[in-house]
Amino acid sequence: MTAPAAPAALTALALVLALTAALGAHGRRSARTASDFLVASQGVSPWWNATAIASEYISAAAYLGTAGLVLAYGTGTLWLPIGATAGYVLLLAFVTAPLRRSGAYTISDFAEWRLGSRAVRRAVTCCACFAGWFYLLPQFQGAGVTLRVLTGAPVWTGWAVIVVVAAGLVASGGMRGITAVQAVQFWVKLLAVAVPAVALLAFWHADGGDASAADRPVRFERTTRVHVETGVAVDVPAAVTVTATGRLDGVRRHAAAVPLAPGRHTVGGGAEIVFPAGAAVPHAARLPAPADGTRATPFCRPGGHGLYTTYSTLIGVLLGTMGLPHILMRFYTSTNGRTARRTAAIVPGLLALFYVFPALYGTLGRLYTPELLMTGDIDATILLLPLRAVPGAPGAVLTGIVAAGAFAAFISTSCGIVVAIAGTVTQRMRHRDGVAAFRLGVVAALAAPLAVLPAIGPRDSADLVVTALCVSACSLCPLLVLGIWWRGLTAPGALAGLATGGGLAVAAGLTRLAAGPGTGWTGALLAQPSLVVAPAAFAVMIAVSLLTRRRVPRRTDGAMARLHLPEPAAAP
């Protein structure tokens, strides 16, 4: 079924890998010392650095997940990319320039320097690692889906690609290589998503397209044969008679007409089901539809507690963006606080540009690839759409272009996170050569998500990435904001806040990974705890700091001066 896409996808993968290797090798020549490995020696210009930052942020979740969300839940979920861009505005307003002036490389460094406490440092390291690990999961997941959908390879091949590329690149070229890789890959991703989008839109218009379908419940436009690769439970919205081959509701069929009543049905792996034109698309049970059955209402994330979930997700994304370890680390490569701030001011523009396109795929996906709702592979929307809308060679070429962007997306983000985790962990190591310790850190960064992945089964990348952002929103963001702006913050206050916020967010994330999406208020709270936990973390930090007022570090005034006074070299 997907055979025509395989050569195009493999060519794209080879090209992206070659580009990555070439840029990485270029970086390797100059990366000699451990600090070169980590920070590219602080000579990166605002535009270059901003492109790299935007690139690190456009992960598999943004690239594949946004379109998938729009397919599954309608354009209401577009508010997620919006929250991400807004998060960078807050990052610019509260964090970048002071953080760069502190001279801290990681958030752990910042915490230890600001509060003079190794315990706080340890807590921060812990939170940063969890945020990074949660963030790596969707990258692996996206890589697996991409290779599986396009070439039919098992999911672990995608994971292997990430491990090999990230380990190789990070261990050889370090951050200097990565800055170049990231910056170039931003443009790769932008073109890869924009060119096919424009082409598809043109084709669809030539087809006499009607976008009003995008706001309706999803239906099969024509008789559709759905191949279910792995067994799935689906909810059928309206009675329909299908032709089934394979296991359906526990009974093996062979090209038999089967009436399906509304409600839950199970489809075995390898089954093929033919739906008549006009039938409403069943949806995978793990993508619960809102109660009204439509999937295009404004606040339509699943769970039924729409408004809470929407706001909580938005807050999580907004605040979480402020504390992402791999993004913050990038600002260290700016020359000083002023250039760091200019860098941050460019990023929202780049992200806004990128986010014009993924939603288009989701909207068109509702017309061309509705069966993904049933198989649950909503992350594959953007990958399958070109061939579905434009059969033949042009479709294959467009698929190749889109695939190149997808590969670039998870490679660049994974490398950034791996550097961030390894850098944070490395600084805890003693008696070891810096570079060797850094390489060990890389192994630690990759090992944790790999251990979890086989156990969690298929998930949507957007869901996973929101979990990571939530951890960061509930722990690292309060610490940064209060540490930078409030001289009253004390080490015990920070510790208490990190333990409350980070602990609860990580616990919620792990519970959800283990137990899957829940229902009712418990489910909504577990899925999106940010709206409750992030303010709680702020409150605990402030309250405990006030209670331990005497323990405000004596050098706080000096620290505040260093954070906020502009660099003297204003006019060179």
* Ranges within 234-293 binding another protein (CB under 8 A): none
Phi and psi angles of residue 35, each rounded to the nearest 5 degrees, phi first: -70, -30
Q: Please, which residues bridge with residue 273 across strands?
A: 226, 244
Find the binding residues for another protein in span 370-409 (CB under 8 A): none
Tell me the torsion sign for CA atoms 138, 154, 355, 523.
Answer: negative
Determine, following the binding rule CB under 8 A, whether residue 6 of this chain makes contact with another protein.
no
From the CB of 76, what's the least distance to another protein, in Å?
7
Find the binding residues for another protein in span 174-203 (CB under 8 A): 201
What are the residues whose beta carbons fall under 8 Å from the beta carbon of 353, sequence distance 6 or more? 190
Tell me the torsion sign for CA atoms 130, 135, 136, 138.
Answer: positive
User: Given candidates 29, 264, 549, 555, which one binds another protein under the rule CB under 8 A?
Assistant: 555
Tell me the torsion sign for CA atoms 355, 147, 53, 499.
Answer: positive
- Residue number with CB closer to another protein (182 or 426): 426
User: Given candidates 53, 267, 284, 559, which one binds another protein under the rule CB under 8 A?
Assistant: 559
For another protein (CB under 8 A), the number of binding residues is 114
- Residue number with CB closer to another protein (36 or 463): 36
Alpha-carbon separation of residue 559 from 98, 251, 351 (angstroms): 10, 70, 33
User: Given candidates 29, 428, 543, 547, which one binds another protein under the rule CB under 8 A?
Assistant: 428
Determine, following the binding rule CB under 8 A, whether residue 550 of this chain makes contact with another protein.
no
To 5 degrees, how large is the angle CA 331–CA 335–CA 341? 55
Q: How many CA atoms lie within 13 A of 103 on its CB side?
A: 8
From the CB of 487, what's the least distance to another protein, in Å?
8
From the CB of 297, what's the least distance to another protein, in Å?
9
From the CB of 232, what's the least distance to another protein, in Å?
28
Determine, following the binding rule CB under 8 A, whether residue 432 of this chain makes contact with another protein.
yes
User: Given candidates 116, 168, 288, 518, which one binds another protein under the rule CB under 8 A?
Assistant: 116
- Residue number with CB closer to another protein (38 or 476): 38
Determine, following the binding rule CB under 8 A, whether residue 215 of this chain makes contact with another protein.
yes
Cα separation of 501 and 485, whole Å? 19
Cα separation of 312 and 318, whole Å? 10
User: Given candidates 5, 13, 44, 112, which one binds another protein under the rule CB under 8 A?
Assistant: 112
Residues 460-499 as x/- pattern, contact with another protein by CB under 8 A: -------------------------x--------------
Determine, following the binding rule CB under 8 A, whether residue 553 of this chain makes contact with another protein.
yes
Residues 319-348 as x/- pattern, contact with another protein by CB under 8 A: -------------x--xx-x--xx-xx-xx
SS3 letters across 152-184: CCCHHHHHHHHHHHHHHHHHHCHHHHHHHHHHH
Determine, following the binding rule CB under 8 A, whether residue 564 of this chain makes contact with another protein.
yes
Instruction: Pull the structure tokens for residue 141.
Output: 């997941």
Find the binding residues for another protein in span 120-179 (CB under 8 A): 121-122, 125-126, 129-130
Query: Of 102-110, 271-279, 376-384, 524-532, which segment contacts another protein by CB under 8 A?
Result: 102-110
Buried b or exposed e, range 289-304, using 16+ CB within 10 angstroms: bbeeebbbeebbbbbe
Q: Which residue's entry shows tokens 């062979």?
A: 254
- Residue number with CB closer to another protein (156 or 485): 485
Among residues 112, 203, 191, 238, which one has the least CA distance to residue 495? 112
Determine, following the binding rule CB under 8 A, whether residue 510 of this chain makes contact with another protein.
no
Determine, following the binding rule CB under 8 A, whether residue 513 of this chain makes contact with another protein.
no
Alpha-carbon separation of residue 193 from 188, 410, 570 (angstroms): 9, 14, 39
Query: Of 20-28, 399-407, 527-535, 553-561, which segment contacts another protein by CB under 8 A?
Result: 553-561
Determine, following the binding rule CB under 8 A, whether residue 316 of this chain makes contact with another protein.
no
Find the binding residues for another protein in span 15-34 (CB under 8 A): 32-34
Query: Of 3-11, 82-90, 470-478, 519-527, which segment contacts another protein by CB under 8 A?
Result: 82-90
User: Given candidates 57, 79, 134, 203, which one binds another protein under the rule CB under 8 A?
Assistant: 79
What letter does residue 63 receive in the DSSP assignment? I
What letter does residue 355 receive in the DSSP assignment? T
Q: Which residue's entry shows tokens 């009675």?
A: 239
Among residues 153, 191, 166, which one has the least CA distance to residue 58? 191
